[in-house]
Structure 1
Amino acid sequence: MINQSKNNYINKLPLLLILALCLGLKSNAHQPIKVFILAGQSNMQGHGEMEKGVKGNLRWLINNDKEDIYQHLVDEHGEWSERDDVFIFTWDKFDTIKTGKLSAGYGGFDTTIGPELGFGHVTGNHYENKVLLIKTSWGGKSLAVDFRPPSAVGESGYSRIPSQPKDTGYYYVQMLSTVHKVLDNLQQYVPDYQGEGYELAGFGWHQGWNDRVTKTANKYYEENLVHFIKDIRKDLGTPTLPFVIATTGMKGWADKDPRAISLMNAQMAMTNYPEFKDNVSVVDTRDFYIETEDSPSKQFYHWNRNAKSYLLIGEALGQAMIDLKKKQAATNIHQEIRNVPSYDSKYLTPTPPMGWNSWNAFEKEIDENKIKEIADIMVSSGMRDAGYKYLVLDDAWMASERNEKGQLVADSIKFPGGMKAIGDYIHSKGLKYGIYECRGDLTCQNLPGSFEHEQTDMDSFAEWGVDYIKLDACFARKNGRLSTEDLDVYHKAILKTGRPMVLSISDFGSGAWAWGGKNYGQLWRTSMDIYPRIQSVYRCAETSGGNGAIHPAFKGLWQFAGPDSWNDPDMLQVGNLKSTIEDKAHFSLWSILAAPIMAGNDLRSMSDEVKNILLASEVIAVNQDSRAHQGFKVYDKDSLEIYNKPLSDGTTAVLMLNKGEKRSDITVLWDQIGVSGPQNVRDLWLGKDLGKFNGSFTAKNLGKHEHLLLKIGTIGSTPVAGPTPVAEEKYTVTQEGTTYLSDIYYMLKKGNAPVEDKNFHGKPLKVGGKKYEKGLGVKSNSEVMYRLNGKAQRFQAVVSLDKNSPKGASGRFQIMVEEKFGGRVIFDSGNIKKGKVNIDIDVSGLDFILLDFSGKKVFGNWGDAKVISE
């Protein structure tokens, strides 16, 4: 086969091509793809014969084409030609997916055509853009049942999520979930896609036989079709999407059946609705009927299988679509140009993931209806279009036992349709499907965990269409595997499925940023669980943006953040806190910290104030900035804090927050944030420019939890520099000989931070009456992780309780490999009350060790703590 270009005769007239090039013919290489959806039942699927039959098949039509109308459908060798600018994806009732360049053979069978052929040629000839047709079609379906749109069922949509082909709305859901899947992976279906984006340009519909023959369906067809158009537009986020309908006129003008006339009148009535003026068109197809003696078959309900009838329908739909587009353009109505988030990116999460998680709102009381309602509201509220893509089901979705194959199954009472149906519904709304599991043998709610079922569960998730996995760590300490070993199993299992799935590591903040969590997942918890209290919010924020989880010299975890490497201080409690002031402070903190934004409120009862916070576009833009820089703290004194986040447009975002009880002014100096001279200042919550300021800006009279989130600088300027990352030698064993742990920064801190080269009270460090110049003074409970980087052979220290410990108190010194998961203890002092213990242990090849001191309000000393490298 040869490729056919825009001009049907280019292959015959090469001189025209040369002339066109000389005249500067426009290339379609970098224009947005025009995407058209074609949907319906078997007449859209297409049964126009290509070769079969004596008369009326496609070959016969071409051979008897005296006016050269259809010669472009074959090449010079008589083979079916392909277009190099129109592409197609089809899925039909035979569960067959076909993709490629537009040609004959994309009907119900490889030997038939449908309206797509004529439609694709008309639109392809009209537009300089490349064109993609997405066709979903299933025979024997009805708008009253199979394709029934949600709003036609009732205000709250489907009474249950459709999970079986006979369920109301099943094919409506399948149709839209397929469309979104193709759009999310556009580069797979449009060759040489270069990130030029796409326009969801129009929707073509050809359906009606079952509604014609069924009395009840026929009666409500017009009402259902109105709902259908409205719901399609809502679910695709295209309120003015051009919609073209081909009537079910397959018996021609001789058809006098009352229900046939009723159905066609209902279809043609769509243009009478004021809201559909100039955005809906109807093609009366009765003129396209061809008598049975001139057709391959007497099967009139498939247009006698006549190829010309299908070509004429497609061409008429295509021309009607072009006419609608022209009308809209004349009144300045255009469909937005969208981008494919995953295109040309090696990252699953180039910016922090945004979505909604069920736990904070519902905990374990989740069910199918709640999730359906949340999905609907994520669309209707504008959250989806603001960037909230992931809808994540947390713990307690699964049954208490696996099935006989060892697979996870849904709780049949909560989710009667099963987990694939949930995913299909979520996808039909243009959202991504997230699910929860745990790497222990049980989940946190004592349901089946994934331990020793890792590949089975990842395979199930892939089969269900999961896009995002939240992997918890309850009971994982008894797995006998380190986190790096555990997560390597999941990483490989996910890769083996062939489905890209985001892995969210929830490990209670056990230092994934330090031990290389980005080798396994895309985001990791930096904190323990967040609660609906502002102090909990602040504590979680400190683990990512302050010294809550790492040495203060790092100024937070910013240098460990970036695409597919997001520090996660846990889900949002916006909407669950005491006041709007607290909600806004929470949202601003997560935005400037480039934290994943996973809403956790009950969207069904969300107030306008909360919705406005979650949809604050200029605040979200700070979080989603393409520079992917995590904000860092530049000032912290007397409960007054300033954070800075350099942005991709040459400006920088600045958060000025008062955590204290008294009203205060906060001043940010330009040299704190990397700018100088007069600078524009914009309030991002107000969406208002505050003017130009030179050298500094002062936020005046801020009350408790009040703050300003500002954008400072001039768009287009040289990017504002961030701080210099902490050099590796400052926190890693790099030298031969002796390295004292007090001379390098710890990578993880939980509980009380150690005091370097002093006891915990800042006094000389003594063990067994001997003073040590080097060492660590600690208070229970204290966990600190140090990076040895495989460079050390021995760890040595002498430990004892400090004299400031309560009389009779006991404490315990332990050293573990990496962290507490896996339980690999390489030294254990046991509970000691007095005396000292000498430590000299082998640490060869270890990347990390964790020093743990436990007890009840007791103090201890790691005297002369060091590693020896040969």
Structure 2
Amino acid sequence: MRMPPLACLAAGALLVGLMAAPAEATTVEPTTAVAATATAAAAPATATAHKPSAINDLARTPYLGWNTYYGLGSTYDYDTIKSVTDSLVSRGLKAAGYRYVWLDGGWWSGTRDGQGAITVDAKQWPSGMKAVADYIHSRGFKAGIYTDAGKDGCGGTAQGSYGHYQQDVDQFASWGYDAVKVDFCGGTNMHLVPADAYGQFRDALLANSSHRPMLFNICNPFTPGAAGPGDPPPERSVYNSYSFGPTTGNSWRTDTDVGFVHSVQWSDVLRNMDHDAAHPEAAGPGHWNDPDYLGPELGMTAGQARAQFTMWSVLAAPLIVGSDVRSLSQDTIDMLTNRDVLAVDQDKLGVQGTKIASQGSGDVWVRRLANGDRAVALLNRGGTPLTIATSASAAGLGHASQYTLDDLWSHTRTESAGTIRATVPPGSAVLYRVSTGAHPGLAPSTTLGAPTVPATPGWTGELALPGKATDVTAGFTNDGRTPVTDAKLSLEAPSGWTGAGQAPGGGTLPTGRTLTARWQLTAPAGTLPGRYALTVKVAYKWGGKHTEQRTAQLMVQVPSIPPGGYGYLSDQPWLDASSGWQVPAPDASVGGNPIAMGGTSYDRGLGVASPSAVDYYLGGNCTRLTGTVGIDDAVNAVGPQGGTASFTVKADGQSRYESGNVDRTATHDFSADLTGVQVLSLQVGDAGDGGYNDRADWAGLKLTCGTAPAAPWPSFATPSSATATTAHDGYPASAAIDGRQATIWHDEFSPQAPLPQSITVDLGQVRGVDGLTYQPRLDAGTTGTITGYQVEVSSDGSAFTKVADGQWNDDKELKWAAFTSAQARYVRLTATSGNGGYASAAEIRLRQG
């Protein structure tokens, strides 16, 4: 489900609140408008030579900077802007070329004086808006500001410039602003024609009374039908901005928002990337396709954020950081200031890169550079490591005996006979700068593939089951002209897993040859559920004397114990889950409200937004799933648009139930046979009309299963009680041991209790314990996810002994900690660090051993 776009839409008012508008367009639509649909994302192999004239001499290369929206929302003031501006300097972004400090929605509430001039809040801006621009200038930056083409704005009534285009532009210029972003919430509400409205705003900018050069960012983020059936039509949607943008602005948005305040997700980054690629011919010096802002540390992994930065650079996109740079990690700052990658984005030829090949979930993208080199991005969209390959000739380089591959992220240089190849981690990208010829003495380009395991029908991930042997395969390829010698492959596995070690064979690999090794790996009986790393290593020589080592890694998942008896599916840990908006919600509708359909409430179930997939491991132990599907009543509060979906139950990849298209008028009961099924997948589609306002519910999901399986699955103790150092009212320690994924313990947050905070589980009697699992909260909130932990045990509740400590990733995946078996009645988990400085837990389970 895509809620109304808000980032380009500034302050966060839902568009549906602005839609009481006349049915006819305010101005006449241009007859030359060309509709661009969402399916137009497959770009041609090379950008054409069509280069419309830019409107000014600005942005000859894509502009770089920072914007308030995704990291701050609409809550900021003079001191905030001053602080961020200073941070851009002190953290090295200014030195790397970032030049614009841009105020988005929230700087103005829509007030004007008797002459129509904009007035602002004196508390928010004590010295006025000119003082803000002056400070930004004093630190060596350019200042950007924001408005809307309509009367109203995305943040509320009267926050637009319609009827005041020239007056507002003159005021912005007199304050000293160097760039203007113009949204289209009010414009859509008034049914303005974007080409006309933005053309008029362009003319106002060019005629500003201060004769100030001002960069112009066109921001109509509305996809066809986003405001209701046929509203806007394709020719007034974001997908048509390319048709007038090059002669109207310095950049134009090519898709809806890439996220929400404090949230930018990988799936939305990929969507915006694909739509931005639809018209590379429109981009060039002074006029750029704009896929929206960069969002590191706002919901993506570090690899995904790096992939966004990579692909935006290949697309010749403006690079505007949306996150609060003051709180970004140094690793992220290092990523954003990678001069080699920035040089690709800033290449003076100004040709936008295009996709030349797809390989499963992998892509090959190429950008032609001014000196004849090619930037080649190998993108992995999927959730598992993938080896992606192309050739120098496919990238457009002429014939040569050797080519130089500069890896712009690892800062390594190798020679290749012509193949361009890499093993790309899940949700990540490798970026090469490829040139003809190679200096003597360069290492040969080699690729070590990540380990692979047999595919699991009905699931895209990799499973390893306790006590069961798994075939593991890995390969090492030499693509260089120089032979590789003494190549040997070995596999490292977690402690206690058997079958790893050095593989037999090896030797010399000439150009284009691959060394393949196989192992039979077994996870021990009782292995805790969670993710485990399998690491393959290769050691080899080249040039007779140079020694190299490479590693590649695969994360395999040991699933939770298959469910047993008769119970609710929402209590079972999932393998993975996705939702088109926010996150899947156990026992709630997406967004956190109780599940309600047709006026009936349901205590149990699963709330999602289209498109969605939620996968569970059943291990062949269940026979039937029953439930009710439909559209949540919450859609009625949003508006009459959207609210449609389709529901499918898949068993090992085969359909067992299909609802057809469902709307808000009726619910549908279902019963699906699951006999012998290993992987259950609950999938929700958008019913063919897009995901707007599609809050879909799987209500009352009940599983019928056999007896809960025993060995080789782990045995978990049944706790007696739990206590915590602090707990906020309504989030008791007992919620972490109640067997439900939907309830949580959360430490005190009003006022905040500082870390460390602990939760102690009482087993009722002394018994052997040798491990625990920790399920972070699964709702849309993130505070309290434990990242630094310590585990202690005690037989009397007074004297505790530490048995484990470490770090967990800040995400919603199931975590584990194994330790030497100890006799204990009490087990204490202490959060030494956590998201937001808090501690929380959905479920804690203790393994007996």
Same fold at TM > 0.5: no
Specify the structure having the higher radius of gyration (Cα). Answer: 1
How high is the TM-score relative to the length of structure 1? 0.41
Bigger strand share: 2
How high is the TM-score relative to the length of structure 2? 0.42
Bigger helix share: 1
